[in-house]
């Protein structure tokens, strides 16, 4: 078994790296969205290639030396293969001067249809030439350059986060498990899981850089979680049994392995729920997450037992210890269950209020890059000095003769809409109309204007596009498919927890508690990343919004990992209950024995999530921060206080199921693991 995994790991390290050569920036919007159709229609009417933009500032725009310098470099750029047109203040009509009267804009249009590799070479050559202009400030960027900056920031952030997380993880695992070799076992499982997952992704035609981030996140976290659970159960069995190590490992796999299997399937089904969204970016992340979850389970059930069997002499048995944090919280909650349940629930709901009533969801643009990124500086400079309005116009494409009376009536209808301040058919493309919405807070938002434009019923086909329309399309698409994703998660959670516990009440309770954790985490996310509370401490500049994909990803991740720890605790509570412990005793004993594993696992995976805070990309920081907060809430107030309090209030109702389902569970799924004989003098040892 070790030989097979070693070969797969080496193959992943050797060939999995090919995935980085084929990474592309995946669209966050499905190709059949109306805004996408409108964009393609405009491109067909006015075919042009990618654009590189430069802002030359800090010097008198009519300084003869600057004019000569810009003119000479513009001539060099025109001569480059792959450049279609160069527009500047001096060599072509329509040049732009910034509102500060000391900045000018240069637009370099590349040829249409260039292969990506050639386009990138031309962009780089153009950028190098533009930076040679003798001016105090020369900022160069463009849509494609910004996309490359996003990709680079995502990869560098993941690499930095992984490196720091793995180093800190090793130290933590050595301390938690009491030995260097023991600490290497979970880390080996994590490295193997990630490398083999990358090997699988290498066979796909294209992979998003954010998919690699998801694989890293889930692969390391789940592999470490499951390995910790297996090692903890083996140490417990070893302390209480004198049988050969092979039988001790067999019992470990039969007991803790069942918990790992159910937990991993729950995470995989949760990630499958993400795949129902039509957006290519979310589907790509879902695929990577499912592969990582299943491989983490497979490594826990095969690689980790093999490593334990080989290195069991180097895995120390811990001494008896005082009850852990979760056990102490459980005792407190069971002493006053109703007040604790109400207080914790009210507190989590209060934390959720900023998200429920004040979230501003938007698509990330260059503002999500670090303040030092040139693409972000260019974006902000263009918005400040060259745009007459604060927002890009809504683009309306009509399929009719612009001279028709019906088109004129349609223009009048557009002009009469609330919050519309200007309706401007393009001079060279009269069938393309730019609709500018007001930026006043007292009027409708650009998204409302998009919906109002689409609600008009002209007698000819119309497509509505632009950034505001893209946001509307994405939010509508996510909202329309969210019930399907929720149904998948609810059904899979209910079935798996029923298989584990034989109850229908426990799955419902788990879903409610996971929802509270999710909402509280999203509320704190809004406070930090939208309101900017503590942004300097976390190393980013708030742009006043949350990326629209972040809540969707957090919905999946938080539900998946919360289920992880729910299964860890419930499996042990159910086991204690089957040994004749009843009610609060079973809950207290189960949490006391599995609580230290949950705490250690959450600490380790929290390190992984915090590693993403070290990167420069705001979207990754959002994900890492929210997941770290969710883990902190989940393993303290939710699992330590709310879970035992609610189970104490419900009593025997916790285990209720209709009689036919109860018989089905007892016949097919209630297979208690036969314990190995224990010497009379043996006493159970505390978990790490």
Residues 6 or more apart from 78 whose CB is under 8 A from it? 85, 86
Q: What is the pLDDT of residues 115-141, one digit of tens each?
A: 888 999 999 999 999 999 999 999 999
What is the tally of structural domains in the chain? 3
Q: Does a structural domain hold residue 28?
A: no
- In this predicted model, what pLDDT tens digit does every residue of 31-40 receive, in sequence order? 889 999 999 9
35 belongs to a structural domain: no
Average pLDDT, the chain: 87
Residues 555, 438 within the same domain = no
For position 686, what pLDDT does the model report? 42
| CA 678, chain centre distance (Å) | 46
Q: What is the distance between the alpha carbons of residues 41 and 434, in angstroms, rounded to a whole number?
A: 14
CATH assignment of the domain containing 452:
3.30.70.100
Is residue 684's pLDDT more than 50?
A: no
Q: Which of 155, 191, 184, 166 is nearest to 20 (CA)?
A: 155
Residue 267 forms part of a structural domain: yes
Confidence of residue 632 (pLDDT cuts 50, 70, 90): very high
**H helix or E strand, kind and range, residue 151:** helix 143-177
154 and 258 part of one domain = yes
**From 71-80, 140-149, 564-573, 636-645, the region with the lowest mean pLDDT:** 140-149
Q: What is the pLDDT at residue 393? A: 86
Q: Could you tell me if residue 396 is left (phi over 0), alpha (psi between -120 and 50 degrees) or otherwise beta?
A: beta
Strands 546-547 and 361-362: parallel
Last residue in a domain, options 471, 505, 529: 471
pLDDT tens figures, 178-213: 899 999 999 999 999 999 998 888 877 667 777 887
In this structure, how many other beta carbons lie within 10 angstroms of the beta carbon of residue 183? Answer: 21
Domain assignment present for residue 646? The answer is yes
Tokens representing 404 are 């028709």
Question: How many CA atoms lie within 13 Å of 84's alpha carbon, on the beta-carbon side?
Answer: 13
Arithmetic mean of pLDDT, 530-535: 90
Q: Is residue 259 part of a domain?
A: yes
DSSP for 556-578?
Answer: HHHHHHHHHHHHHHHHHHHHHHH
Q: Report the candidate in 293, 312, 294 with the shortest Cα–Cα distance to residue 185.
A: 312
pLDDT at position 391: 62
pLDDT higher than threshold 80 for residue 400? yes
Higher-pLDDT residue of 176 and 392 is: 176
- In the block, tokens 């900045």 appear at 103
The 10s digit of each residue's pLDDT in 303-344 is 999 999 999 999 988 776 677 889 999 999 999 999 999 999
Q: Span 544-565, mean pLDDT?
A: 88
3-state secondary structure of 424: strand
Tokens of 366: 């260059």
Let me know if residue 208 belongs to a domain.
yes
List the domain range (segments joined by +) for residue 60. 51-141
Model confidence at 680, pLDDT cuts 50, 70, 90, reads very low
CATH number at residue 82: 3.30.70.1320
Strands 137-141 and 51-57, sheet pairing: antiparallel
DSSP category for residue 636:
I
Host H or E run for residue 54: strand 51-57
Contact (CB, 8 A) for 229 and 258 = no
Beta strand residue intervals within 279-369, DSSP E:
361-362
| pLDDT value for 325 | 85
Residue listed under structure tokens 């399907």? 484
In this predicted structure, what is the pLDDT of residue 92? 67
In a domain, 478, yes or no: no
Check whether 583 has a pLDDT greater than 90.
no
Neighbouring CB atoms inside 10 A of 60's CB total: 11
Helix (H, G, I), strand (E, B) or coil at 225: helix
611 and 566 in a common domain: yes
Q: Write down the residue that tokens 């095969």 correspond to.
A: 302
**% of the chain residues with pLDDT over 70:** 94
Global confidence as pTM: 0.86
> Is residue 620 a contact partner of residue 370, using CB atoms and an 8 Å limit?
no
Same domain? 544 vs 600: yes
H or E element that contains 87: strand 83-87
Is the domain of 217 the same as that of 288? yes
Residue 574 falls within a domain, yes or no?
yes
* Residue with the larger pLDDT of the pair 479 and 612: 479
Same domain? 585 vs 522: yes
Are 450 and 497 found together in one domain? no
Residue 389 has pLDDT above 60, yes or no: no
Choose the weakest-confidence range: 286-290, 505-509, 631-635.
Answer: 286-290
pLDDT tens, residue by residue, 233-275: 999 888 888 889 999 999 999 999 999 999 999 999 998 988 8
By C-alpha distance, which of 519, 474, 216 is closest to 364? 474
pLDDT of residue 515: 94
pLDDT of residue 298: 97
Q: State both tokens at 33.
A: 């969205």
Give pLDDT, residue 679: 44
For the record, the structure tokens of 562 come out as 């919360």
Same domain, 72 and 206: no
Least confident among 156-165, 239-248, 607-616, 657-666 = 156-165
* Residue 58: its H or E element: none
Q: Mean of the pLDDT values across residues 560-564? A: 87
What is residue 633's predicted lDDT score, i.e. its pLDDT? 94
State whether 412 and 535 are in the same domain: no
448 and 568 share one domain: no
Last residue of a domain, one of 97, 119, 141: 141
In a shared domain, residues 594 and 516: yes
Chain centroid, CA 684 distance in Å? 40
Domain stop point among 107, 141, 175: 141
116 and 177, same domain (yes or no)? no
């Amino acid at each position: 078994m070790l030989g097979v995994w070693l070969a797969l790991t080496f193959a992943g390290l050797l060939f999995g790296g090919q995935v980085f050569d084929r990474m592309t920036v995946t669209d966050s919007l499905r190709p059949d969205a109306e805004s996408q159709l409108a964009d393609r229609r405009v491109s067909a009417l006015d075919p042009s290639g990618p654009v590189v933009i430069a802002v030359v500032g800090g010097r008198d725009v009519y300084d003869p030396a600057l004019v000569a310098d810009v003119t000479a470099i513009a001539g060099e750029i025109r001569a480059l293969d792959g450049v279609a047109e160069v527009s500047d203040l001096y060599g072509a009509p329509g040049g732009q001067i910034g509102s500060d009267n000391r900045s000018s804009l240069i637009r370099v249009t590349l040829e249409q249809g260039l292969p990506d590799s050639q386009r990138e070479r031309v962009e780089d050559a153009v950028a190098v030439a533009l930076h040679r202009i003798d001016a105090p400030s020369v900022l160069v960027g463009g849509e494609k350059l910004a996309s490359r900056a996003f990709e680079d920031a995502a990869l560098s952030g993941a690499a930095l986060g992984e490196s720091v997380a793995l180093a800190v993880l090793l130290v933590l695992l050595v301390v938690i498990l009491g030995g260097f070799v023991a600490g290497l076992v979970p880390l080996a499982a994590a490295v193997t899981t990630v490398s083999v997952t990358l090997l699988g992704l290498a066979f796909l035609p294209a992979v998003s850089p954010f998919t690699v981030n998801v694989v890293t996140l889930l692969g390391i976290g789940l592999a470490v979680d499951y390995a910790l659970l297996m090692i903890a159960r083996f140490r417990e069995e070893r302390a209480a049994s004198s049988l050969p190590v092979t039988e001790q490992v067999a019992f470990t796999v039969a007991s803790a392995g069942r918990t790992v299997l159910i937990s991993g399937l729950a995470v995989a089904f949760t990630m499958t729920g993400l795949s129902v969204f039509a957006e290519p970016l979310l589907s790509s992340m879902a695929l990577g997450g499912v592969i990582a979850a299943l491989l983490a389970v497979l490594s826990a059930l095969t690689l980790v037992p093999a490593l334990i069997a080989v290195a069991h002499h180097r895995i120390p048995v811990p001494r008896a210890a005082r009850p852990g944090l979760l056990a102490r919280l459980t005792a407190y909650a069971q002493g006053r269950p109703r007040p604790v349940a109400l207080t914790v629930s009210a507190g989590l709901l209060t934390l959720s209020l900023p998200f429920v009533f004040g979230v501003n969801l938007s698509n990330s643009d260059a503002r999500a890059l670090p303040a030092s990124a040139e693409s972000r500086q260019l974006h902000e400079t263009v918005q400040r000095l060259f745009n007459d309005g604060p927002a890009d116009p809504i683009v309306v494409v009509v399929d009719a003769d612009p001279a028709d009376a019906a088109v004129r009536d349609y223009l009048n209808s557009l002009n009469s809409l609330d919050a519309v301040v200007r309706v401007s058919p393009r001079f060279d493309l009269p069938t393309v109309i730019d609709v500018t919405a007001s930026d006043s807070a007292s009027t409708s938002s650009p998204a409302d204007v998009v919906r109002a434009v689409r609600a008009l019923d002209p007698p000819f086909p119309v497509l509505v596009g632009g950034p505001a329309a893209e946001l509307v399309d994405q939010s509508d698409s996510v909202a329309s498919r969210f019930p399907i994703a929720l149904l998948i998660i609810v059904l899979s959670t209910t079935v798996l927890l029923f298989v584990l516990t034989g109850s229908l009440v426990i799955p419902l309770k788990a879903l409610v508690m996971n929802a509270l954790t999710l909402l509280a985490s999203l509320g704190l996310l809004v406070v930090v990343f939208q309101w900017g509370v503590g942004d300097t401490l976390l190393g980013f500049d708030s742009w006043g919004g949350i990326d629209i994909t972040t809540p969707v990803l957090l919905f999946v991740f938080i539900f998946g990992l919360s289920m992880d720890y729910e299964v860890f605790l419930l499996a042990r509570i159910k086991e204690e209950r089957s040994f004749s412990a009843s009610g609060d005793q079973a809950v207290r004993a189960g949490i006391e024995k599995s609580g230290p594993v949950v705490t250690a696992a959450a600490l380790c995976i929290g390190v992984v999530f915090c590693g993403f805070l070290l990167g420069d990309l705001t979207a990754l920081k959002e994900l890492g921060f929210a997941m770290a907060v969710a883990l902190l809430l989940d393993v303290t107030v939710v699992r330590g206080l709310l879970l035992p309090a609610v189970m104490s209030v419900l009593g025997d109702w916790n285990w209720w199921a209709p009689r036919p389902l109860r018989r089905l569970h007892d016949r097919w799924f209630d297979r208690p693991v036969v314990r190995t004989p224990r010497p009379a003098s043996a006493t159970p040892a505390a978990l790490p």
